[in-house]
Structure 1
Amino acid sequence: MASSDGNVRLLIVATGAVVFAALGVALFVVYPETLADLAGVLVAIAAIAVGIRLAGNVADSLFPTYDVAEVAVEGPITRDGGGGGIPSSPRGTPADDIVEQIDRADEDDNVDALLVKLNTPGGEVVPSDDIRLAAERFDGPTVAYTNDVCASGGYWIASGCDELWARDGSIVGSIGVIGSRVNANDLAEKVGLSYERFAAGEFKDAGTPLKELEDDEREYLQGLIDDYYETFVERVSDGRDLDSEFVRDTEARIYLGEEAYEMDLVDHLGTRRELETELADRLGRDDVAVEEFEPDRPLMARVGTGAQQVAYAFGSGIAGIAEEREFRLRT
């Protein structure tokens, strides 16, 4: 069946090439004769190339050659892909796009398994959990893997996959939550600024940088962090089948892949090729063909994306930002 599909695809591409070649020659070489010059030949060649591309796209849509989908979570995890509130930071992963890609892969009859590529220091709490939930509901094997960094929110996502692969030198872990605020009260006094409160609700302005943090406000904000942390521990404990006390005992440390493997924070150490070989064995075939699913967005929106994606280290990702109060929370 696969051989037959391949022959049909080849026939479609060849037919498209011939049709567009004939069209190009007719329009730019034969008629009118005055255009039968070098420029016409170049345009004809361009028409042939476009024809081959279009025919190839048609063939791919009719006879897909892939059986595994891959989605990439790279950079800080945010709702819309913004830089996460850090000056000069690159744009990160828009969680809604990743969820859409996973759902699209789940609906694709040609996809038998899902790879989740993680190269992220973490990110906003709820967007990270949305991606985890999408991976959990995928109907088929789900394998998370990282070459560089799978920390904090990245590990939150990995807990929703069937297993996690890493390299010996990968950075894994940082199972914790951090909140921060800028205390600009002293600076404000020096420049003659003062904070005047107009709010309804005792804790509405908790964390505002222009005033000192009261003890009850500090306790309130710490309580929010503790609640998020307990949720994080629960997700990892359930998803990775680890004892919750063991997870807490990591104290949000990061580990190199080899140590993480020894601690059962990682299931396998290996290269991408080794991962694909193992996945092919599980699916009962000689090899797998991986298709990277990308969000549906205009061409210009994709320009420059590759240059913005960088490898992060030491789990420094941004998470859940309460912008109204200038209190920042991250995993």
Structure 2
Amino acid sequence: MVSSEGIGRLVIVVAGGLAFAAVGVVLFVLFPTTLADLLGVLFALAVALVGVRFAGNAAGSLFPGYDVAEVAVEGPITRDGGGGRFPSGPGSTPADDIVAQIERANDDGNVRALLLKLNTPGGEVVPSDDIRLAAQRFDGPTVAYTTDVCASGGYWIASGCDELWAREGSIVGSIGVIGSRINASGLAEKVGLSYERFAAGEYKDAGNSLKELDEDERAYLQGLIDDYYDTFVERVSDGRDLEPEFVRDTEARIYLGEEAYDMELVDHLGTRREIEDELADRLDTDAVTVEEFEPERPLMARVGAGAQQVAYAFGAGIAGLGDGRGFRLRS
């Protein structure tokens, strides 16, 4: 049975298409100037297609057919969607874009619940926390679900949602923080390079890959890792209602979905359809309609994304050299 919203959208699309078609015929067919009649007809058709698209957008605004927003977090979590020293997958999304989509869903009067799709091995700490905070601020039920992987920064994000769903074979956990650096001092010595220090502040160049770490620097950098780890444990403990010692006892292990469920790291095991059924019960409706909220990108950005996919296919296995200081931190 067709709903009144569906009929309304259809009427607007048809009326808009006919209106723009009429304008196109008048401009390019009935009153041709220097263009051939056939070219005029083509212009008329082009205007009609533009009209249909415009009317479709208007119909979607006036008669929205969704009540749940879905925002996807896929690939490594970074500020700009890149992989830093390593090439990022074409499916990765900038953290700021994800936050913007969650906020847009929160401002949309038709959205009653948020689905946060997590398929990520983790990533940078602060961008992960930004996404968690955005989910936490959403005014309505928030359900995180993972398809394949919800690890590290992905689990950090899930701690800001009301529930976490997974499949039996999903990979969940890795509640820990890692920092790394490339020690290139031996290589530099072999090729005749030496490191000269010009810095103000004892630890300004701590972690530089061209020199050996001394014990004070090692303790300093490990302290940073420990502080981030304490924060991670606190976020998970508060958001998932788990004892901090229990979280620490996982020792950053990963678990399959079934074991994670038994450990209460996951609230439910189920498919996407089962999640939608659960949301329908919670929202007291027969069924929910999910709308994917994605970043709006200009044409050149979409072209650039396509080029990135091609480049990634050729170079995904090639790692870059370390950055200037050589020390990186991720969850």
Provide TM-score, normalisation by structure 2.
0.89
Q: How far did 1:288 drift?
A: 1.0
**Which amino acid letter does the alignment assign opposite residue 136 of structure 2?**
E
Conserved 8 A contact 1:106-1:139: yes
Q: What is the distance in 1 between the residues matched to 2:95 and 2:264?
A: 27
Match of 2:163 in 1: 163
Q: How does 1:253-268 map to 2 (within 5 A)?
A: 253-268=253-268
- Normalising by structure 1, we get a TM-score of 0.89
Partner of 1:32: 32
8 Å CA contact 1:144, 1:163 repeated in 2: yes
For the residues of structure 2 that align with 1:207 and 1:77, how far apart are their CA atoms?
A: 23
Tell me how far apart the structure 1 counterparts of residues 139 and 112 of structure 2 sit (CA, whole Å): 8
Aligned to 1:181: 181
Aligned partners of 1:67 and 1:291 also within 8 Å? yes
Partner of 1:75: 75
Q: What letter corresponds to residue 239 of structure 1 in structure 2?
A: G
Q: Percent identity?
A: 76
1:205 partner SS: coil
Structure 2 CA distance for aligned equivalents of residues 68 and 221 of structure 1: 43
Q: Does the Cα contact within 8 Å between 1:195 and 1:211 map onto a contact in 2?
A: yes
What SS does the corresponding residue of 1:209 show, helix, strand or coil? coil
- Give the Cα separation in 2 of the matches to 1:235 and 1:66: 31
Q: How far apart, in 1, do the equivalents of 2:188 and 2:4 lie?
A: 74
How many residues of Structure 1 are paired with residues of Structure 2 in the alignment? 316
- Equivalence for 2:235: 235
3-state SS of 1:13 partner: helix
Query: In the alignment, is the contact (CA less than 8 A) between 2:120 and 2:151 conserved in 1?
Result: yes
User: Are the counterparts in 2 of residues 77 and 93 from structure 1 also a CA contact under 8 Å?
Assistant: yes
Asked if the contact 1:76–1:84 (Cα under 8 Å) also holds between the matched residues in 2, the reply is no
Between the aligned partners of 2:159 and 2:110, the Cα distance in structure 1 is 25
Aligned residue for 1:77, secondary structure, equals: coil
1:128 matched to 2:128? The reply is: yes
3-state SS of 2:71 partner: strand
Quick check: 2:69–2:111 contact (8 Å CA) kept in 1? yes
Question: Which residue is 1:313 aligned to?
Answer: none
How far did residue 189 of structure 1 move? 1.0
Task: Tell me the distance in 2 between the aligned counterparts of 1:185 and 1:237.
Answer: 40
Matched, 1:301 2:295: no
CA distance in 2, matches of 1:57, 1:323: 45
Query: What is the correspondence of 1:1-331 to structure 2 with a 5 Å cutoff?
Result: 3-32=3-32, 35-37=36-38, 39-86=39-86, 88-90=87-89, 92-303=92-303, 305=305, 308=309, 325-331=325-331
Question: Which SS does the other structure have where 2:172 is aligned?
Answer: strand
After alignment, is 241-250 or 90-99 more displaced? 90-99
- C-alpha distance in structure 2 between counterparts of 1:89 and 1:183, whole Å: 23
Deviations 1:297-323 (CA, angstroms, capped at 9, x unpaired): 3232134648849xxxxxxxxxxxx95
Paired residue type of 1:6: G
Contact 1:28 1:35 in 2 (8 A): no
CA spacing shift, 1:63–1:297, aligned 2, 3 Å: same
Give the Cα–Cα distance (whole angstroms) in 2 for the partners of residues 20 and 204 of structure 1: 64
Contact 1:66 1:111 in 2 (8 A): yes
What are the ranges of 5 or more consecutive residues in structure 1 without an aligned counterpart?
Answer: 310-321
Identify unmatched segments of 5+ residues in structure 2: 311-321
